Chain A
Amino acid sequence: MSEQELQVQEKQMVQQEGEATKPEKYFIPAVDIFEDEDKVTVVAEMPGVKTSGVDVALEDDVLTIRGHQEDDAPKEGRLLLQEYETGSYLRRFTVAETIDQDKIQATMTDGMLTVELPKAAPAKPRKIEVQAG
């Protein structure tokens, strides 16, 4: 798997309903979502977003990930080559599991956001012993 050559993935724009008041561009970040017994983990690719620019919210089973990127183009100078666009990131998911809202943790490292959503107690698998009677 690690021997594979990385391919260029074109950034996809978020299709918004209505118009935004600010002339901001929103892109859909690529994500990995995996689940184990205790939690659901969402990893999102958001280069250029600082820890302070991340906004994670869970409301009515909808998880919203938003990463605000400040324009980091040099103040002076002209653009010779532009192969990617910069902008903010936005993506929403409907979470099927019951999540313990108070224990949600989010960390930002090297432009990757990791959100851990611990499952609430009743959703954890429980083994039911069958009693011989």
Chain B
Amino acid sequence: MALIRFTEQPAFRNPWAEFERIRQGLDELSNSLIGQGRAHIHATVYPPLNMYETKDALILKAELPGVHPDDLEISLEGDTLTLQGKRLRKLDDKATSYHRREIAVGNFSRALALPTKVDLDNMKATLADGILTITLQKADEVKPRQIKISTD
């Protein structure tokens, strides 16, 4: 007997198929409104992060302009990575009038669950040109391993 998915049943047998079709249509519409090409996720906690995975490492990137390395704290506990810090701006005492103030100052703290186990002793973080790059080596047990086939 061939298996038929519930949503793939003919319309007269499945009243939900029409709803499914509408839902897919709405998804496509909202994706096309978000932007050209790839839609990104809207971060709700500062700073927004980009994460990449390579064969044996996780690379995290964050834009932290104006943050001094001394004001930034990164900690890793189990598979939870925490970024904490503050952005301060020394205000010019002489400045008599502000015309625009768009750059926010303040504290931030973000905790992130990592998707894989990482080697706790082997993490590297650099902050250059306002971009933070954290490189985490994957733990040995989750690294891909090649299995040699022996012939007897």
Contact = CB atoms under 8 A, between A and B. Distances in A.
Contact of A81 (B38, B49, B99): B49
B29 interface: no
Contacts of B98: 32-35
Contact of A79 (B52, B65, B102, B107): B52
Interface string A54-95: 000000000000000000111011111111110000000000
B52 A2 contact: no
B131 A77 contact: no
A5 B86 CA distance: 9
Interface residues of A, number: 43
Interface of A: 1-10, 30-37, 41, 43, 45-50, 72-74, 76-85, 108, 110-112
A110 B50 contact: no
A74 B51 CA distance: 10
Contact of B65 (A7, A33, A111): A111
Contacts of B63: 47-48, 84, 111
Interface of B: 38, 40-55, 57-59, 61, 63-68, 86-89, 92, 94-108, 115, 127, 129-131
A74 B99 CA distance: 39
27 contacts: A2-B107, A5-B106, A6-B47, A6-B104, A32-B102, A33-B100, A34-B96, A35-B99, A37-B94, A48-B129, A48-B131, A72-B61, A73-B50, A74-B54, A78-B53, A80-B53, A80-B115, A81-B50, A82-B41, A82-B51, A83-B40, A83-B43, A83-B48, A83-B49, A83-B50, A110-B65, A111-B131
Contact of A32 (B54, B87, B101): B101
